[in-house]
Structure 1
Amino acid sequence: MDAVDRKILALLEAEGRLTVTELAQRVGLSVAPCHRRLRELERTGVIRGYRAVIDPAAIGLGFEVLVAVTMDREDAATIAEFESSLATVPEVRHAERLFGDPDYLVRVATADIAAYQRLRDEKLATLPGVQRLTSTIVMKRVVDEHPFPLPASSHPSPRSTHPTRQTHT
């Protein structure tokens, strides 16, 4: 990944609706090479997709809770079943598996505290392997969708599929 690729990423993180023509102009390339770079970033998984960022409160889901999940067992089958079951819960916005305690941190969005209590009692607490749920209500978001700091280094990305060029003297 070089400086042009990093500039493409930074521009798309800030304005995901840029056309390839606009993107090419801003990075100083013609359309065809810019389009090739963009497709390569997508193909290698550096760019995982494009989406609209929706205000949860505007659609009636402004009550957010961070849920710390402690598992009662961590065998591979239980973990796989828990994770696949959790992925089917529409109110789950993000979920991360952690080292240490708790085992997972899950962000959910609901309409209000009553809706969260139903979600907690009827869905989250019944997921496979759950021992304990600890809920923390989000007061406000301080940082939201902050762009990734893109490294200035020209080292290849770990996902790069291009062989390293070697010169022999």
Structure 2
Amino acid sequence: MDEALDATNRKILHELVANARIPVTELARKVGLSKTPVALRIRQMEEMGLITGYRAILSPLQLGLTHVTYVEARLSDTRQKALEQFNAAVRAIPEIEECYMIAGGFDYLMKVRSRDMADYRRIMAESISALPHIHATTSYVAMEAVVEQSWTAI
């Protein structure tokens, strides 16, 4: 994988992260190659699984999703089958923007987006509390996003 990430490929990835809709001719100009080798490098990185797709990034604020809460979840059962059931159920809740299994004093950390506290309370009562094997949760309301970005350290 390291050989796929030479300086030119890193430049290509950096530009694609900034603007995935950049025309190949403009991208080629920015990285100092012609169009054909740049297109070939992009295709190779896609085939390798380094580039997994392209998508529109929506503004949660413009969509009215201004409330962010982080939720620690502790499970009553952490055997493999219980974890699989929890994982499948949490993926079905659209308001959960991110969810990570954690090594530490709790089992999962979720990032939940909602319109306001009342909306979050509804999500907690109807969806999160109903997740399989939930034993306890602790919520932390974010007051301000200081850094919020896609991963760009290439």
**Same fold, judged at TM 0.5 (above):** yes
**Larger of the two Rg values belongs to structure:** 1
Cα deviation 1:118-166 (Å, max 9, x = unaligned): 110111011111111111111111111154322xxxxxxxxxxxxxxxx
The farther-off stretch of 26-35 and 45-54 is: 45-54
Paired residue for 1:69, among 73, 86, 90?
A: 73
Counterpart Cα distance in 2 of 1:104 and 1:44: 30
Counterpart Cα distance in 1 of 2:80 and 2:59: 36
Cα deviation 1:81-100 (Å, max 9, x = unaligned): 10111001011111111111
- SS of equivalent to 1:64: strand
Is contact 1:5-1:37 (8 Å) kept? yes
Q: Gapped runs of 5+ residues in structure 1?
A: 151-169
Task: Tell me the residue number matched to 1:123.
Answer: 127
Runs of 4+ in 1 over 3 A off after TM superposition: none
Counterpart Cα distance in 1 of 2:106 and 2:21: 38
How much identity, in percent, do the aligned residues show? 35
Residue 139 (str. 1) matches residue 134 (str. 2) = no
- With over 3 angstroms needed to count, the CA separation of the structure-2 counterparts of 1:140 and 1:4, relative to structure 1, is same
Cα deviation 1:23-77 (Å, max 9, x = unaligned): 1111111111111111111222212222222221211211111111111111111
Counterpart Cα distance in 2 of 1:5 and 1:37: 7
Paired residue for 2:105, among 81, 101, 104?
A: 101
Cα RMSD (Å): 1.3
Is contact 1:81-1:128 (8 Å) kept? yes
Is contact 1:14-1:147 (8 Å) kept? no
Counterpart Cα distance in 1 of 2:48 and 2:136: 38
TM-score relative to the length of structure 2: 0.91
Counterpart Cα distance in 1 of 2:53 and 2:149: 15
Task: Tell me the residue number matched to 1:59.
Answer: 63
Task: Tell me the residue number matched to 2:36.
Answer: 32
The farther-off stretch of 27-36 and 41-50 is: 41-50
